Chains A and B, each alone.
Chain A
Amino acid sequence: MELFMSLAVGILFAVGVYLILSKSLLRIVLGTSLLTHGVHLLLLTMSRLKAGSAPLLGEGAERYTDPLPQALILTSIVISFGVTSLFFVLAYQTYKKLGTDDMEQLRGQEHE
């Protein structure tokens, strides 16, 4: 199972990086969101995948699932949700104001 998860993480990262490297702003935003999905799966996988037992509640438990990664992922999902929506609005505003979504045309240092 860990192997499949690792492959999924790898694919998400590859696709995310590919999209971020493209010129269109919309693809870049989608790329960052795929990248964060990959990282969340990575967090889940790194704590070993175990099924069939509850998170630790008492000290006498023999088998337990580590609850911490899920708390971390939840936090991270909330943050990435907020950031992605901000990024979308930003991209839209940029498109409206500057009339382009091509990163090549957003280069430069000059200040009007």
Chain B
Amino acid sequence: MNNLVVLPLLFPLCTAIILFFFKEKIRLQRAIAAAGMGATLLACGLLLTQVLRSGTQTLNMGGWMPPYGIVFVADPFAALLAAAATLVSSFCLLYAFGTVGKERERFYFYPFFHLLLAGVNGSFLTGDLFNLFVCFEVMLISSYALIVLGGTKIQLRETIKYVLVNIISSTLFVAAVAYLYGVAGTLNMADLSVKVAAAGQGGILNVIAVFFLVVFSLKAGLFLFFWLPGSYSAPPMAVAALFGALLTKVGLYALVRTFTLIFPNDPAITHAWIGWMAGATMVLGAAGAMAYRRVLSVLNYNIVISIGFIAFGLAVSNRSSLEGVVFYLLHDMAAKALLFLLAGLILQARGTDQAARLGGLIRSQPWIGWMFFTAALAIAGIPPLSGFGGKLLLVKGGLQGDSFVLTAISLASSLIVLYTLIRLFMDVFFGEPKEEPAAAAAAPMRGHVVLAGALCAIVVLMGFGSEWIYQAASAAAGTLSDPSKYIEAVLKEPV
């Protein structure tokens, strides 16, 4: 029992509720939002150090012993992701100050931002399948609000599709939970893991596993990513950065959690499916990234590629590929947020993000240019930046697991990531400016450039501090590859 486990969910929730009362006082809203974010960050950091030092922490809500009642579980994987998610969203929040516009700030932008964070952290930390659904909904409903806030034509058009896709996948989620409850009679993840393993995962349980695979793939954008590029290019950049860095990662987290803890027993079926879906995602994402010349579209398809890349690690599911999954997830959150922030700065500086209309930006904004270059190299996995460690572990795991085709596809997709991002870099920052900046353009505020610089420093430090991150990722992969540790931590008798 450790009350710290629930704080990463509770702090943003309370902050959001407090924020609802200060609709018109924008400065006060910003201060409260920043303070709440700081508190959440502190709680996540404390939780992470505790988990890494003394193992998985649990909290039984209302004193109900598992498998009854709702349990919150912070194993190293969940604690790491919650900490990384909070860190990245604190950067997005600071970037939102002054870029999202007064109107949005007045109409509950910050409360929704914090509710989204509450949903994300809750999804990471919960140990109950239905509670996972609830946290997903908290996250999704706030994301509906954030994506449509402002109500321009393009936002409305894209939100309709986004909402529809997510309602359908949530409905299927509840149906899958219903089937699983009918078969196993429990919804506690640790208990499910025991029961599914005892029943032998065949027939109906495999069908349910594939059901979950479809549900989480829709949320994560694994193969079923048709909704992603459109929706993520509608909202303002601070929101797009948050979505690109966090939302799909939560879907991936759910995939990793279910298929390492609950359904790991029949990899010939479930993991083979994941493998082919991952391969197809990487190929299709690469095709999309090469086809577009708009900064945002290229970045969105790069999100798709990295989803496939991480799912490839899950498909192989041996020790070193799971280490790679954790490492790469952490890196990808930070690096994707950085890329989106930089895209936002480009948009501010020139008023457009069509690569064909940009050029020569390096002269007026050298810092943005070289940070973009660094982020591109990091995402492509050039050592010593942060992407390298994760990619190395994933490829090593893929080769050990004899899935040579997928490894080849993933390496080729890395090349395409490098190609598309460097092409973007050349188009946007070099050559002659092709046209005068739009009327709405203004030099980005120095504070925002410094902010992107801090995030860039984190990406670089994650690369140089790979050793430390590897240790944490290795601890996380240890629990993932051996479900009995998780089960023991949750179902143990209280002392």
Chain A positions near chain B (C-beta within 8 angstroms):
20, 25, 28, 32, 35-36, 39-40, 42-43, 45-47, 68-69, 72, 75-76, 79, 82-83, 86-87, 90-91, 93-94, 97-98, 106, 108-109, 111-112
Smallest CB separation, B423 vs chain A (Å): 20
Most chain A CB within 10 A, of B145, B164, B179, B229, is at B164
> What residues of B have a CB within 8 angstroms of the CB of A112 in the complex?
153-154
B168 contacts A by Cβ under 8 Å: yes
Question: Are A106 and B168 in touch, CB under 8 angstroms?
Answer: no
Question: Are A43 and B154 in touch, CB under 8 angstroms?
Answer: no
CA distance A108 to B134 in the complex (A): 32
Which residues B159-206 have CB closer than 8 A to chain A? 159-161, 163-164, 167-168, 170-171, 174-175, 177-179, 181-182, 187
Chain A proximity mask over B214-249: 1 for CB below 8 Å, otherwise 0:
000000000000000110010000000000000000
Smallest CB separation, A19 vs chain B (Å): 12
CA distance A97 to B137 in the complex (A): 27
Chain B positions near chain A (C-beta within 8 angstroms):
130, 133-134, 137, 141, 144-145, 148, 151, 153-154, 156-157, 159-161, 163-164, 167-168, 170-171, 174-175, 177-179, 181-182, 187, 229-230, 233
CA distance A53 to B372 in the complex (A): 65
Question: Are B181 and A76 in touch, CB under 8 angstroms?
Answer: no
Question: Are B163 and A42 in touch, CB under 8 angstroms?
Answer: no
Question: Are A97 and B151 in touch, CB under 8 angstroms?
Answer: yes
> What residues of B have a CB within 8 angstroms of the CB of A83 in the complex?
137, 141, 144, 163, 167, 170
Decide: A20 near B144, CB < 8 A? Known: A47-B181, A98-B157, A109-B230. no
> What residues of A have a CB within 8 angstroms of the CB of B144 in the complex?
83, 86, 90
- What are 8 A-to-B residue pairs whose CB atoms are below 8 Å? A35-B168, A35-B171, A46-B181, A83-B144, A87-B163, A90-B163, A94-B156, A111-B233
Of all chain B residues, the one with the shortest Cβ separation from A35 is B171
Question: Are B159 and A90 in touch, CB under 8 angstroms?
Answer: yes
CA distance A69 to B157 in the complex (A): 36
CA distance A108 to B133 in the complex (A): 31
Q: How many A-B residue pairs have CB under 8 A?
A: 90
CA distance A91 to B148 in the complex (A): 12
CA distance A54 to B233 in the complex (A): 52
Of all chain A residues, the one with the shortest Cβ separation from B233 is A111
> What residues of A have a CB within 8 angstroms of the CB of B141 in the complex?
79, 82-83, 86
Of all chain A residues, the one with the shortest Cβ separation from B181 is A46
Other A-B pairs, 7, CB within 8 Å; known A42-B175, A43-B177, A75-B130 = A20-B164, A46-B181, A68-B187, A72-B181, A86-B141, A91-B160, A98-B157
Of all chain B residues, the one with the shortest Cβ separation from A32 is B167
Decide: A93 near B182, CB < 8 A? Known: A20-B168, A39-B171. no
> What residues of B have a CB within 8 angstroms of the CB of A106 in the complex?
157, 160-161
CA distance A28 to B160 in the complex (A): 10
Partner of A46, one of B130, B178, B229: B178
> What residues of A have a CB within 8 angstroms of the CB of B175 in the complex?
39, 42
Question: Are A90 and B160 in touch, CB under 8 angstroms?
Answer: yes
> What residues of B have a CB within 8 angstroms of the CB of A35 in the complex?
167-168, 171
> What residues of B have a CB within 8 angstroms of the CB of A90 in the complex?
144, 148, 156, 159-160, 163
Of all chain A residues, the one with the shortest Cβ separation from B173 is A39
Decide: A72 near B160, CB < 8 A? Known: A46-B178, A86-B144. no
Decide: A47 near B182, CB < 8 A? Known: A72-B130, A79-B134. yes
Of all chain A residues, the one with the shortest Cβ separation from B68 is A68
CA distance A20 to B160 in the complex (A): 13
CA distance A109 to B177 in the complex (A): 35
Smallest CB separation, A48 vs chain B (Å): 8
Of all chain A residues, the one with the shortest Cβ separation from B140 is A83
Of all chain A residues, the one with the shortest Cβ separation from B162 is A90
CA distance A3 to B153 in the complex (A): 47
Of all chain B residues, the one with the shortest Cβ separation from A95 is B156
CA distance A69 to B181 in the complex (A): 9
> What residues of A have a CB within 8 angstroms of the CB of B160 in the complex?
25, 90-91, 94, 106
Smallest CB separation, A42 vs chain B (Å): 5
Partner of A87, one of B156, B167, B229, B233: B167
CA distance A96 to B73 in the complex (A): 46
CA distance A109 to B157 in the complex (A): 10
Partner of A42, one of B134, B178, B230: B178
Question: Are B174 and A43 in touch, CB under 8 angstroms?
Answer: yes
Question: Are B179 and A32 in touch, CB under 8 angstroms?
Answer: no
Question: Are B179 and A46 in touch, CB under 8 angstroms?
Answer: yes
CA distance A97 to B148 in the complex (A): 13
> What residues of A have a CB within 8 angstroms of the CB of B130 in the complex?
72, 75
CA distance A105 to B151 in the complex (A): 18
CA distance A20 to B164 in the complex (A): 9
CA distance A43 to B148 in the complex (A): 32
Partner of B171, one of A36, A46, A82: A36
CA distance A111 to B347 in the complex (A): 14
Of all chain A residues, the one with the shortest Cβ separation from B154 is A111
Smallest CB separation, B286 vs chain A (Å): 18
CA distance A111 to B167 in the complex (A): 25
> What residues of B have a CB within 8 angstroms of the CB of A42 in the complex?
174-175, 178
The 9 residue pairs across chains A and B that have the minimum distance between CB atoms: A46-B182, A43-B178, A46-B178, A94-B156, A39-B174, A32-B167, A42-B178, A79-B137, A35-B171
